[in-house]
Amino acid sequence: MKVIVSAGPTFEDIDPARFIGNRSSGKMGFAIAAEAARRGAEVLLVAGPVHLPTPEGVTRIDVRSAAHMHEAVTSALPASIYIGAAAVADFTPQTFSSTKLKKQTGSETLTLELVRTRDILADVAAHALRPRRVVGFAAETNDIEHYARGKLAAKRIDMICANRVGMAGSGFEADDNTLQVFWKDGDATLGPAPKADIAVLLLDLIDKELA
């Protein structure tokens, strides 16, 4: 079985000195990749800019931007399962400045034009080489079930794992996590627990509910 996992943030470059990013550490995705490899899967981990060691038995591709991650994931198809645990930027600067943007005399503001990035989850789900199962993640601050189920339907994926960010002990940068998992005919809560334990519970759930 081939499993593709994407993990970590993406960095969308503004100029040679600055970028737009987020607080994802990649720990959840790396834990999932490690557990899938432990179970005997052939695992490809597409990792955004993180400072984590490659799990044993996992092949790793490092990327930086949402566009790079999209290319790496879709180029790796076909696969049995895709688990999109990465916190991919929704927007990227429309243009990249090859020189550092300078403060303008007399101006107190800077306007950046942002454009939508390609939706990796939706594109994988609609791909001619679509994996048998496509699992996504959603980082939310409120109305978790509403937004998660909306993404489940809109992206036409099989399962979505929502976690609350912006609070201590869960989500970005933390070692522990709590996931609210939704699929067409059900839902489950995993955790709170260390992310390695959450990975075990999640893969068990995928095996059980998406068999």
Q: Evaluate whether 160 touches 182 at the Cβ level (below 8 Å).
A: yes
Q: How does residue 119 score in pLDDT terms, banded at 50, 70 and 90?
A: very high
- pLDDT tens-digit profile of 23-79? 999 999 999 999 999 999 999 999 999 999 999 999 999 999 999 999 999 999 999
Query: Could you tell me if residue 13 is inside a domain?
Result: yes
Residues 6 or more apart from 72 whose CB is under 8 A from it?
46, 61, 63
177 is catalytic: no
Query: Could you tell me if residue 89 is inside a domain?
Result: yes
Query: Could you tell me if residue 159 is inside a domain?
Result: yes
Number of domains in the chain: 1
Segment holding 79, helix H or strand E: none
**Is residue 106 over pLDDT 80?**
no
Query: Could you tell me if residue 183 is inside a domain?
Result: yes
Which of 119, 159, 167, 173 is CA-nearest to residue 142? Answer: 167
| CA pair distance 44, 60, nearest whole angstrom | 6
Mean pLDDT computed over every residue of the chain: 94
Query: Could you tell me if residue 102 is inside a domain?
Result: no
- Average pLDDT of the segment spanning 75-91: 97
CATH number at residue 180: 3.40.50.10300
pLDDT for res 35: 98
| CA pair distance 167, 176, nearest whole angstrom | 12
What are phi and psi for residue 71, nearest 5 degrees? -65, -45
Marked catalytic residue, from 22, 142, 163, 177: 22
pLDDT for res 103: 85
Q: Which two tokens stand for residue 154?
A: 């809109």
pLDDT cut 70: percent of the chain above it = 97
Query: Could you tell me if residue 8 is inside a domain?
Result: yes
End-to-end distance of the chain based on CA atoms, in angstroms? 13
pLDDT for res 166: 58
- pLDDT tens-digit profile of 153-178? 999 999 999 988 756 655 577 899 99
**Is residue 127 over pLDDT 80?**
yes
Q: What range defines the domain where residue 40 resides? A: 2-94+112-209
Query: Could you tell me if residue 124 is inside a domain?
Result: yes
Q: Mark out the alpha helices in 57-126 (DSSP H runs).
A: 66-75, 120-125
Query: Could you tell me if residue 169 is inside a domain?
Result: yes
